[in-house]
Amino acid sequence: MAYSGRFTPGDRVQLTDAKRRHFTITLQEGESFFTHKGEIKHDDIIGEHEGTVVKSSGAGEYLCFRHLLVDHVLSMPRGAAVIYPKDAAQILVEGDIFPGATVLEAGAGSGAMSMWLLRAVGEKGKLISYEIRQDHLEYAEKNVSEHMGGHPENWDLRLGDLKEATKEDIGEVDRVLLDMLEPWEMLDTVKDVLLPGGVFMTYVATVPQLMKVMEGIRETKAFTEPKAWESLVREWKVDGLATRPEHRMNAHTAFLIWARRLADGTVAPRPQRRARR
């Protein structure tokens, strides 16, 4: 699928009607899409610019744009819950995922975060993704391959338990991201494979998980003092004097935990609180 330019066969196009309902089609010459307002011919879209309007046979009007990655993530089939865009953005920035990086991910889930990581590391980078469940691995494989036009050559998708993996299996990596039920059980593996200075991030949903991961990181004495946070996103309705926050918001989805790998043998200074005046 092209990322810009005029629409071509094979592009995934999101059609939006006047009520902001979305319909996704993959353009094919000679094909049609049928709505409650009649037929939309693919040939009426192919060759047109993005941001144009196509009319159905029943006089319905639909705005046409290519499917963005965020659209694909939110609409694709899921075996496991996905990391939502607001958290994926935090991971990419706070984790400093750079072009050419080697990243270890576990678990792959439905492949949402895998796609963001693959885009960030680029063709010269590498992503190693572990998934313990066969059905989840199949969802990840299908979703990533569908969006990226096949299985990326720099994506090493593995069925297995990261806890049983060794440094010989993985090698050294620049970044580690864990999204699993019991990430504290993987800390020894993370310590072995993450390069000094490398960033380690964990994504957990509950307070007990948060507490166990934070204490586990501290007990290894191989990382900087971990920090944790959550991101909340609230949209606003802007309509003259009716401007106000939307009633619904993307509140808690998960906690993000961040730490960096110390060099072997290094003892970090103990965190100290500021003296009270």
SS3 category, 217: helix
- The alpha-helical segments, DSSP class H, found in the chain are 69-75, 85-94, 112-121, 134-148, 167-170, 187-193, 207-220
SS3 category, 249: coil
pLDDT of residue 197: 97
Give, rounded to a whole angstrom, the gap between the first and last alpha carbons of the chain: 61
pLDDT confidence band for 267 (50 / 70 / 90): confident
Q: How many percent of the chain have pLDDT more than 70?
A: 99
Q: Has residue 277 got a pLDDT over 80?
A: no
CATH fit for domain 71-261, picks 3.30.1340.30, 3.40.50.150, 3.40.50.2300, 3.20.20.70: 3.40.50.150
pLDDT confidence band for 76 (50 / 70 / 90): confident
pLDDT of residue 1: 66
188 belongs to an annotated ligand binding site: no
CATH fit for domain 6-67, picks 3.50.30.10, 3.40.470.10, 3.40.50.2000, 3.10.330.20: 3.10.330.20
CB 200 within 8 A of CB 261: yes
pLDDT confidence band for 67 (50 / 70 / 90): confident
The rounded mean pLDDT for the chain is 93
pLDDT of residue 49: 96
pLDDT of residue 243: 95
What stretch(es) of the chain map to CATH 3.40.50.150? 71-261
179 belongs to an annotated ligand binding site: yes
pLDDT of residue 176: 98
What stretch(es) of the chain map to CATH 3.10.330.20? 6-67
Top-confidence residue, 214 or 107: 214
**What are the backbone angles phi and psi of residue 42, rounded to the nearest 5°?**
-60, -35
